[in-house]
Amino acid sequence: MPRTPDKHAPRSNLRVVSWCLAGTLGMFAFGFAMVPLYDVFCDITGINGKTGGRYEASATEERDENRTVTVQFIAQNGPEMPWHFRPVTRSIVVHPGEPTTVNFYAENPTGQAMVAQAVPSLAPAEGTLYFHKTECFCFNQQPLEAGESTEMPLIFIVDRDLPKHITKLTLSYTLYDQTRAGKVSKAVSDPKTTTDNG
């Protein structure tokens, strides 16, 4: 029987409860939806300082001779990470648009083979979208045998459109032990190719 819009007819409790339960489930799902939404939002705005994936330099890009930017490098270990990890170059002055290579030194002083993953963070976050990496050790996990050491390369370009008031960028890497975790993180080891910012 179709429901008549008679205002004295009692509304069905079942209907109200169904709507409320639907709202509850919807908001529970929304809580989880905030995770990818947050990632997308941060990718677009760069506000959490996570630099993007592999960048393909366009041939037309020229270096800006009239301007210099200081780039500082910081390396630190995550909790219970025993490796020696430091930047070979602590600070470098570059022109925007100029590809630059720097190295990071890593050594596994323990008696067993280990796998590490570096996670980048850039400050100020406002510069995140203007810092491009054409090659980075953080794109892949880094295995090292017991006692082995290596120099890991990073090739980066500071975008010519970097806002004028930013004269210094600080790139920090945190190295996490992934030996036992065996998990491949989605955000860092699956580099996306970003070409739209050139």
Partner 1 sequence: MSAVADTHAQAHHHGPASGITRWLFTTNHKDIGTMYLVFSFTMFLLGGTMAMVIRAELFQPGLQIVQPEFFNQMTTMHGLIMVFGAVMPAFVGLANWMLPLMIGAPDMALPRMNNWSFWLLPCAFLILVSTLFMSGGAPNFGWTFYAPLSTTYGPPSTTFFIFAVHIMGISSIMGAINVIATILNLRAPGMTLMKMPLFVWTWLITAFLLIAVMPVLAGVVTMMLMDINFGTSFFDASGGGDPVLFQHVFWFFGHPEVYIMILPAFGAVSHIIPAFSRKRLFGYASMVYAVGAIALLSFIVWAHHMFTVGVPIAGQLFFMYATMLIAVPTGVKVFNWVATMFRGSLTFEAPMLFAVAFVILFTIGGFSGLMLAIAPADFQYHDTYFVVAHFHYVLVPGAIFGIFASAYFWLPKWTGHMYDETLAKTHFWLSFIGMNLAFFPMHFLGLAGMPRRIPDYALQFADFNMVSSIGAFMFGATQLLFLAIVIKCVRGGEKAAAKPWEGAEGLEWTVPSPAPYHTFATPPEVK
Taking CB under 8 A as the criterion, the residue among 4, 13, 60, 112 binding partner 1 is 13
Taking CB under 8 A as the criterion, the residue among 62, 91, 187, 192 binding partner 1 is 187
In degrees, rounded to 5, the angle at the alpha carbon of residue 101 between the alpha carbons of residues 100 and 102 is 125
Q: Is residue 30 near partner 1 by the rule CB under 8 A? A: yes
Taking CB under 8 A as the criterion, the residue among 59, 79, 111, 164 binding partner 1 is 79
Shortest distance in whole angstroms from residue 79 CB to partner 1: 7
Q: Is residue 31 near partner 1 by the rule CB under 8 A? A: yes
Pairing of strands 114-123, 84-87: unpaired
Taking CB under 8 A as the criterion, the residue among 92, 115, 125, 155 binding partner 1 is 125
Rounded to 5 degrees, φ, ψ at 33 are -65, -20
- Considering only 39-47, 60-68, 130-138, 141-149, which stretch makes contact with partner 1 by CB under 8 A? 39-47
Among residues 150, 156, 157, the alpha carbon closest in space to that of 135 is found at 156
Rounded to 5 degrees, φ, ψ at 143 are -90, 145
Place of tokens 């794109």: 139
If the CB atoms of residues 1 and 35 are measured against partner 1, the closer one turns out to be 35
If the CB atoms of residues 97 and 120 are measured against partner 1, the closer one turns out to be 120
Q: Is residue 40 near partner 1 by the rule CB under 8 A? A: no
What is the C-alpha to C-alpha distance for residues 122 and 47, in angstroms, rounded to an integer?
9
Other Cβ atoms less than 10 A from the Cβ of 50: the count is 17
Q: Is residue 119 near partner 1 by the rule CB under 8 A? A: yes
If the CB atoms of residues 61 and 177 are measured against partner 1, the closer one turns out to be 177
Q: Is residue 112 near partner 1 by the rule CB under 8 A? A: no
Binding to partner 1 (CB under 8 A): which residues in 157-186? 174, 176-178, 181, 183, 185-186
40-46 long-range Cβ contacts below 8 angstroms, 24+ apart: 45/129, 46/125, 46/126, 46/127, 46/128, 46/129
Strands (E), the chain: 69-77, 84-87, 91-94, 100-107, 114-123, 131-136, 142-144, 149-158, 168-177
List residues near partner 1 by CB under 8 A.
Answer: 8, 10-13, 16-17, 20-21, 23-28, 30-32, 34-35, 38, 42, 45, 47-50, 78-79, 117, 119, 125-126, 174, 176-178, 181, 183, 185-188
